[in-house]
Amino acid sequence: MRKIYNKLVRDNIIDIILNDNGKPVFKILNDDNFRIALKNKVVEESQELLLANTKDDVINELSDIIELIETISKNYNINKDELLNKKENKKLKRGGFDKKIFLEYSDEDK
């Protein structure tokens, strides 16, 4: 039975499929396509996080997202300090999410 993936997978998945007697068909992406696939993978993992119900499920999805953030950062030559500094600057200017504010709408004159 054929299972269609059409997505970026972790480095050891091909070996896992081979060890289970599967016959994977895959390709190695060029840098541009890799960057697109990484961003699509973040969306995929974020959707899975949305469906996570247990603490273990949330941890599992967050660990995937962290791995993707690290890989994307590496691919764009962004070091950890640069990323964390940007995060802190945004938090200082715009705040965090601690107050649980959900903005319904704003009437604005423009």
Give the Cα separation of 95 and 32 in Å (integer). Answer: 33
Using alpha carbons, select from 86, 83, 85, 41 the residue that is nearest to residue 65: 41
- For residues 11-23, give the mean pLDDT: 97
Query: Domain segments of the chain: what residues?
Result: 13-81
Computed on alpha carbons and rounded to an integer, the radius of gyration of the chain in Å comes to: 19
Question: Over the stretch 46-98, which tens digit does the pLDDT of each residue have?
Answer: 999 999 999 999 999 999 999 999 999 999 999 999 999 999 999 999 999 99
Residue 41 is encoded by which pair of tokens? 């993978």
Question: Is 104 a residue whose pLDDT tops 90?
Answer: yes
- In this prediction, residues 15-42 reach a mean pLDDT of 97
- What average pLDDT does this structure show over 90-109? 95
At 51, list the tokens: 């469906």
